[in-house]
């Protein structure tokens, strides 16, 4: 597999999975710069998840983008996903690693201690947040802001850090400035009147960051 680009990290959500043209929107997003797709569905049955994950797996293979499943190891194995994303209440990382081997395993962290633990246990990337208020996660904790992200990036510069929660085109520059290697995005792409344009603008901002880092 090619090196993982976490920059424009699109995440699905139950509120968008049933919208008209959902799969067409996802495909256009992949064509226009989404670098990684996570299937996240908290209110679907196992059968529904398997069906939807299979369709998204086909799209990600078609456009050569990594495909991550949120929470459900069984679904990840069933569709041969590229990895799994775990929350603090999900399977322990070491258990998932036994089944997934060298595939990608990401972990969500809401504070410094959780994030540091994920790094030391061998996570491939860590999602930190919510960095801003978000409406797409019903049980989201109060925003941790960007200070935790800055601290973690300074301490573990080689670890890919993905900012989570409330990120849009008006604040993504703050996330990038804080050191994020990527942004997990839902509504700012799937709920946009111009999803393709939104993806291109997110991708451009991260590309500019990489260009500045290369020029140093």
Decide if 35 is catalytic: no
Residue 171: its H or E element: none
Spatial CA neighbour of 3 closest among 35, 32, 38: 35
Q: How many helices (H) and strands (E) does the chain have?
A: 10, 8
Choosing from 7, 57, 103, 108, which is the catalytic residue? 108
Choosing from 40, 72, 97, 153, which is the catalytic residue? 40
Decide if 62 is catalytic: no
Strands of the chain, DSSP E: 8-11, 36-39, 67-70, 83-86, 104-109, 125-128, 161-164, 182-185
Cα distance between residue 18 and residue 14, in whole Å: 7
Kindly state the DSSP code that residue 3 receives in the 8-state scheme. Answer: P
Decide if 40 is catalytic: yes
Strands of 101-206, DSSP E: 104-109, 125-128, 161-164, 182-185
Cα distance between residue 88 and residue 71, in whole Å: 10
Instruction: Report helix, strand or coil for 37.
Output: strand
Choosing from 44, 57, 97, 137, which is the catalytic residue? 137
Residues designated as active site: 40, 108, 137
């Amino acid at each position: 597999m090619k090196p993982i680009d976490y920059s424009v990290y699109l995440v699905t959500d139950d509120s968008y999975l049933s919208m008209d043209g959902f799969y067409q929107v996802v495909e256009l997003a992949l064509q226009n710069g989404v670098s990684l797709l996570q299937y996240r569905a908290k209110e679907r049955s196992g059968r529904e998840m398997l069906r939807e994950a299979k369709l998204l797996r086909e799209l990600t293979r078609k456009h050569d983008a990594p495909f991550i499943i949120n929470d459900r190891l069984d679904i990840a194995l069933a569709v041969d996903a590229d990895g799994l994303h775990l929350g603090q209440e999900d399977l322990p990382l070491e258990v998932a690693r036994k089944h997934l081997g060298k595939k990608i395993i990401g972990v969500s962290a809401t504070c410094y201690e959780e994030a540091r633990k994920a790094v030391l246990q061998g996570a491939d990337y860590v999602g930190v947040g919510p960095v801003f208020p978000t409406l797409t996660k019903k049980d989201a904790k109060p925003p941790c802001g960007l200070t935790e992200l800055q601290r973690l990036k300074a301490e573990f510069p080689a670890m890919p850090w993905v900012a989570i929660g409330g990120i849009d085109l008006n604040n993504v520059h703050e996330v990038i400035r804080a050191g994020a290697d990527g942004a997990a995005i839902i509504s700012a792409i799937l709920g946009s009147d111009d999803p393709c344009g939104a993806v291109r603008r997110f991708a451009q901002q991260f590309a500019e960051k990489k260009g500045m880092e290369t020029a140093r």
